[in-house]
Structure 1
C-alpha cells in the first residue's frame, strides 16, 4: 500500500499483535539494477534482521514486468537477507498498468510464469518467492490460468486479492473465486480484500476456504483487527459467517493513543518535515472509521501543519514529553 503502509506504520501496527508477517510497499523495477541502499531505504527492517522492531518478519515486494531485470534486482535484494521476495501482479494503478506492470500482467500468463521462473533461479533455493495477484484485469476469466502459471514458475505461496483491476477497491470482494483458485493449485493460498472486521474474516474464510488472511486497509483502520482474528484460532475455512461486526475494537482508544504518539515520534524523526503533519492526519482519517476519538482528533488537527503544534497537542493528551526540535 504505497504511501500508507510504510516502515513507520509497519513498526507501529506490528506492536499490536496478531500479525505473522508483513509485505512491504512495492519497489518499482524498470530497466535499472537498483543499489542496495534503495531496498534498505524502503525496507529499513533489513538492518534489523529483516524484522520490524516488534520482531515480525517483513517480505520486500518487487513490481516490474521484465523477467531478467526483476531477477537481477531480486538477487541484490536476496543478498540483504530478507524473509523471502514477493512479486506484485495486483496493483491497479493506471500509471503502473500503463507500463505493463501490476495487474496488467494478468493478461499474459506465460509472462507471469517466466517472471517467476527467472526470480526463482536468481535467489537462494531456501528463500521463499511469493506472489500477489488480483482475479484479472478486466474480468476474472483467466484467474485460474494465472494462478497456475505462477505456481509453475516456482511461486511458493500465492496471495489473491479477490477483485479485478476493473473492480478497483469497490465492494464486494469475490472470496468464492479464491476457492476456485485453491481447487487447481497445490501451493498455499492467502485470501485478501475487503476484510474490515471479524465478521468479514469469518465469511472470507468460509467462502474462500483459506485459513490465512492478508489485511490491508482494515488493519490500518482497526489496529487490533489481526489480534481479534488471531483469537478465533487458525481457522479451517468452515466459519459460520457470523461475527461481531460492530463490536468494540480489541484495542481501546486509551491503549491506542500512546501508539499514535509513538507513530508521530517516528514520523518526526524519519520523514521530511513537510510530510509529517499529513502522515498523522492520514492515519487519523482511517482510524476515525472505528474510533470516535480519532474523529475528534482529526477535526482538531485538520488545519494544523506545524509539527510543533502537534507535539504539544499529543503531549497534553498522553502526559508524555513529546517535543521534538525542528
Structure 2
C-alpha cells in the first residue's frame, strides 16, 4: 500500500469507524540507522501517542533483510512509542524483492527467524512484534515453515495474505490455506488478508480461514464503510454523502500537507478506488480526470460553494476564492 494508504488516508478511514488497528506503510531499512525524522515522516502519528485522530493505534512496519540493522532501527523506533512493530515479509514488488526484502524472504525461513528474533530482542518485552507474510514465493510449499519461523522468532501475530508472490493481486485469494496454518500453529494469532472487497467476501474469508480477525487493504480504500459493514453484520453502510464528507476532509488534509502539484493526483487516486463501489465516484472521476488545478478539482467534486468554504478553511487569500 506504499504511496496510497499513508497517514492522511489512515485518518480518513479510521474516522469512518470500526477499525481496531492500523499498520503503516513500510519503512525501508537497508544498511543504515535511520534518523528519527524518517520514522516521524512516514508515521506522524508517533507524535500523538501512535494514534490516529480517531484514536486508533498504529503499528510501524519495517522492511529489510539484515537482522542486525533491522534490530537497531527497531530499537530506535521503539523509543518513539509505536503501538507495535510489524515486519514485512509480504511485499511482492520487484524493486523490493530483488534487494532481498518483502516476499522474497519467504524462501528463507531461517533468515526470517533471525530477523524476527533480533527485532524481538531489541525492543521492550511489552511492545508487540508482528509480521505480514504471503503463502510463499512461487508456490505455498514453505508457507508453514515461514509462519513457524516468524512465530518461533517471537512474533505475537501473523497477518497472512492468502496468495503467493507470483500470484500478486490476481484473484482468487486462497483463504483455506490459512486454515491449515492455524491448525498447525494453534497458539499463534493469525489474521486473514487478501481479496476482501465486500461483506460477502469477508464472511467467506472468515469461514474458509477460520479467522475472526481480518486485515483490509485495497477493499477498504474502495469502500470506506467496509469495516463498519463487517462489524455490524451488514446493518450499517456508508452512503455516498458520507463518503463525500470524508473526501472533503481528505482534501483539506492534502491541502495542508502536500505541495499544490500533488493534490489533484492524490484525490483522483482515491476516486479511482472509490469508483469500484460508488457510481457517483466513477462519474466524478470521469469529470475530473483531465483537471489538474486545485480549484477545478474542488469545485468539480464538491460544488462551487463548498469548494470556496474548503479554500477558506485552508486559509487561501480571498482573491483566490472569487
* Shorter-chain TM-score range: over 0.9
**CA, structure 1 residues 111+318, in 2 after alignment: closer, same or farther (shift >3 Å)?**
farther
Distance 1:2 1:298 in 2: 22
Instruction: State the TM-score, normalized to the length of structure 2.
Output: 0.94
Structure with the bigger percentage of helix: 2
Residue among 259, 267, 279 paired with 2:266: 279
Q: Which residue of 1 aligns with 2:284?
A: 297
Q: Which residue of 2 aligns with 1:237?
A: none
Aligned residues: CA RMSD: 1.5
Q: CA deviation at 1:318?
A: 7.0
Distance 1:73 1:199 in 2: 40
Q: CA deviation at 1:315?
A: 4.8
SS in 2 for 1:159: strand
Distance 1:198 1:259 in 2: 21
Distance 1:228 1:295 in 2: 21
Q: Which residue of 2 aligns with 1:152?
A: 152
Unaligned runs of 5+ in 1: 233-243
Q: Is this contact kept in 2: 1:257–1:318, CA < 8 A?
A: no
Q: Is this contact kept in 2: 1:22–1:59, CA < 8 A?
A: yes
Distance 2:289 2:256 in 1: 21
SS in 2 for 1:191: strand
Decide which moves more: 268-277 or 78-87.
268-277
Q: CA deviation at 1:317?
A: 6.4
Q: Is this contact kept in 1: 2:287–2:300, CA < 8 A?
A: no
Q: Is this contact kept in 2: 1:11–1:52, CA < 8 A?
A: yes
Distance 2:205 2:280 in 1: 29
Distance 2:5 2:302 in 1: 25
Q: Which residue of 2 aligns with 1:197?
A: 198
Q: CA deviation at 1:308?
A: 2.3
Distance 1:146 1:315 in 2: 48
Q: Which residue of 2 aligns with 1:262?
A: 249
Aligned residues: 312
Q: CA deviation at 1:275?
A: 1.2
SS in 2 for 1:13: helix
Q: Is 1:28 aligned to residue 1 of structure 2?
A: no
Q: Is 1:122 aligned to residue 122 of structure 2?
A: yes
SS in 1 for 2:59: strand
Q: Which residue of 2 aligns with 1:175?
A: 175
